[in-house]
Structures are given as C-alpha cells and as structure tokens.
Structure 1
Amino acid sequence: MRPMTQYRIRADYDARTIVVYQAYPPAIADAALRAGRFVAPFSFQRMTWIKPSFLWLMHRSNWARKPGQERVLAVRMTRQGWEQALSRAVPTTAAPEELSRAAVHLQWDPERSLRGAALNHYSIQVGIGRHLIRTFAEDWVVGLTDLTPQVHKAAALVRGGRADQARRLLPPERLYPVGPDLEERLTPA
C-alpha cells in the first residue's frame, strides 16, 4: 500500500457540504445556473466527473479555455452524498468487469501547481455513473456558482507573472477528513 499522505483529499468544505469543480460548455452552465440545478442539456445518461481540487481542474480545462470547458462551476454538494459516492467508488485501475458494474469510479492524478506543473501528491477525481447521476444532481447538489470570471482573472495574473495575486483568488482547500474504512478503500494498492 502506498503512503496515504500522497493520497489525501484536499477540498473546500464546511460541516455539511463540500465544493467540487466541473467545467462545461456555456449552454450547460447557463441552463444550470438559471435553474439553480443541473437540467438539460446536462446529460443524465453519461458519467460526470467531479473534482475537489480547483487547480487540477484549471490544468484540465486550461483555465476555462479548452473547447467545451469554457465555464467553471463550483458545485456545492452534501458531505453525506460525497461520502456515499466515495463508499461506492471503484478505482479506474480495477478489473474491467468490476469497473463496468461500478456506480462510481475514482482516479488519483498528480495535483497541479498554479502554473500547471505536476506535484508529488495526488488529487482525487470521482466519476458519478449514469445510474447515480440523478441522485447526485437532485439530492446531493445544494448550490452552483459560476467561477469563470474569477478563473479568467487568476489566469491573466498567472500569465502576467503575478502568481501571488492569482493565489489570493483561489478557493481555500484543506485536508478533508475521512474515517479509517474509507481511507483504506480510497488508498491505491
């Protein structure tokens, strides 16, 4: 077993909720923000990946410049839902037949620095499968916030060599506590 110190969840959370991040095309983000929840054209028929690491999503979406990922949403969800998803998660490295039956997939990827460099610890991604997606969208999600203007401002500061100013715009993230059973389940073998 690898040391858990490299595989810890870092997130913005409070006593009841956790914030995860997603990037979408404008049509999906606009409809969701207008409705205050995920609605069409959001797909309830495919897996959706949620990430508690803001900088990992910035790397993935190229600071909201990648086609189809131009809008960054902070998705506030219940911790109960988050932990239920984690308790059902199967690593993407599992046997194909196990993975195909899983309601939730999980993957650890190198965390990223402000400039996108891989760090020596990992960030979790959680894929909510189509059999659980309505529960995620209708029961677990309690709020959506458009972070796109903040993302663009931070990206401009990074590109302009003002990383300290950009860092002030990042959401706060701290270690998320998990119990020993869940920790063992989440730690890669």
Structure 2
Amino acid sequence: MTPYRQIRADYDRDSIVVYQAYHREIAEPTIRAGRFVEPFSWGRMTWVKPSYLWLMGRSNWGTKSRQEHILAIRIKRDDWERALSLGVLTSFESKTHKQEENWRSQFEDASVHVQWDPERTIHGKKREHRSIQVGLSRAIIRDFTDDWIVDITDFTERTRKIRSLYLAGNLKRAKDQLPPERVYPVSDSIVRQLGMDY
C-alpha cells in the first residue's frame, strides 16, 4: 500500500523534474529563453509539483484558462532537498509541531511552504494518498530561477497527446506516455519535518 505522504518524482542521480502550468504570456518567452524571464513575477510565491498527474488534475490537462502551457522544469537535487529542508507545512499538525504558536512563527518566517494534496489518477479522481506541493517565496525564488534549473522542457504537446489518447479510449497508450515517477528518498529529518510516511 502506498504511504499516505510520500514524494514520487521523475529524477536521476543529480536532478529532479517539477511541473508548472502557465499562460502563454509567461510560457512562450520562458521556453524561448530556456529560463524564466519577464513577465514572470519574482514578487510572488511560485508553487512547484513533482507529480505530473496532480498538475493535470489541477489544470484539467492544460485546458483551464491561464494554465494552457505545461512546463517540465528539471532542477538540481541538492537545491530541491535544500528547499525541502527549509519547508514548513501550511497548516498546524500536532504530530509534527509541538505547539501551534511555534508552527505559526515558523510558517510566517518560512521561505518555503509545503502542502500535501490528494494524488490523482489519470482519470482525474483523487487518491487516498497525498502528493507534495512546494511553495517558493520571494526570499528564495531568485535562487530557483537563476541557479537551480538545469533545463526547461515544453510539455504542452505531450500533454495534449496523452489527453487525446485517453479521450479516444487508448488508456494503455496514454499511460505509457506518462513521465516515470518513483519514490524519491529523503532524510529522516525531512520525513519528520514534513510529516511524511515512508
């Protein structure tokens, strides 16, 4: 049985892929430049997700307004793990935080926020186990855009292909096109900090 909270991702020895959905005005200049450029905003929190199907559920396969372009962003594992080590859960949990006041103080000062949401199936249905979202605040977002990124891939056409196969009833072929995701190992301290199960 899949643990309730567990990071699953497409990764190799040095890097991990996270996904984001953007509207054309941000996605197209970013893809051309191979990095985030204006009008991307460095003044607001940006959320990255290693679960492709979670983002598909959120963006309805890139068909929701202003979420039409799907970007696969490969970042360095060292930086991803640094972000996790700085992460504070978005809500108080007694098993993770000793006192609510301590959590609130940590949350307000945190440069990274972490939220666990239901994982999705290819059908868009919520699963019992959770998938991680990592929010990068203004305090750290420049590190993300300027230093962490190995490359940015436009996943929009692949997403449309998978959706077309699914809608045509070719479920196996659609699943075969999904990016590979497997359990991502993290330290015991991060497991405790983020209320994870392994």
Bin for the TM-score computed over the shorter chain: over 0.9
Residue by residue over 1:33-82, the C-alpha shift from the partner in whole angstroms, topping out at 9 and shown as x without a partner, is 11111111111000000000000000001000011100000000000110
Find 1:113's aligned residue among 101, 118, 121.
121
Pairwise CA distance, 1:179 = 1.3
Residue in 1 aligned with 2:63?
Answer: 65
Return the TM-score normalized by structure 1: 0.94
Q: Which amino acid aligns with 1:134?
A: R
Pairwise CA distance, 1:102 = 1.0
Alpha-carbon distance between aligned partners in 1 of 2:181 and 2:62, rounded to the nearest angstrom: 20
Find the residue that maps to 1:34 and give its secondary structure: helix
- How many residues of Structure 1 are paired with residues of Structure 2 in the alignment? 187
Q: Which amino acid aligns with 1:43?
A: S
Alpha-carbon distance between aligned partners in 1 of 2:140 and 2:159, rounded to the nearest angstrom: 29
Q: Which amino acid aligns with 1:18?
A: I
Pairwise CA distance, 1:96 = 4.6
Find 1:178's aligned residue among 170, 177, 186.
186
Find the residue that maps to 2:55 and give its secondary structure: helix
2:8, 2:184 within 8 Å by CA — same for their partners in 1? yes
Q: Which amino acid aligns with 1:152?
A: R
Q: How does 1:15-54 map to 2 (within 5 A)?
A: 15-54=13-52
Residue in 2 aligned with 1:5?
Answer: 3
Residue in 1 aligned with 2:12?
Answer: 14
Q: Which amino acid aligns with 1:34?
A: R
Q: How does 1:121-132 map to 2 (within 5 A)?
A: 121-132=129-140
Q: Which amino acid aligns with 2:12?
A: D
Pairwise CA distance, 1:157 = 1.5
Q: How does 1:159-178 map to 2 (within 5 A)?
A: 159-178=167-186
Residue in 2 aligned with 1:156?
Answer: 164
**Unpaired runs of 5+ in structure 2?**
93-102
Alpha-carbon distance between aligned partners in 2 of 1:42 and 1:87, rounded to the nearest angstrom: 26
Instruction: Supply the RMSD in Å over aligned alpha carbons.
Output: 1.6
**Unpaired runs of 5+ in structure 1?**
none
Find the residue that maps to 1:22 and give its secondary structure: strand
Q: Which runs of 4+ in 1 moved over 6 A?
A: none
Query: Is residue 153 of structure 2 the alignment partner of residue 145 of structure 1?
Result: yes
Alpha-carbon distance between aligned partners in 1 of 2:13 and 2:177, rounded to the nearest angstrom: 23
Residue in 1 aligned with 2:95?
Answer: none
Query: Is residue 141 of structure 2 the alignment partner of residue 133 of structure 1?
Result: yes
Find the residue that maps to 1:167 and give its secondary structure: helix
87-96 or 121-130, which moves further after superposition?
Answer: 87-96
Alpha-carbon distance between aligned partners in 2 of 1:84 and 1:134, rounded to the nearest angstrom: 14
Pairwise CA distance, 1:184 = 1.2
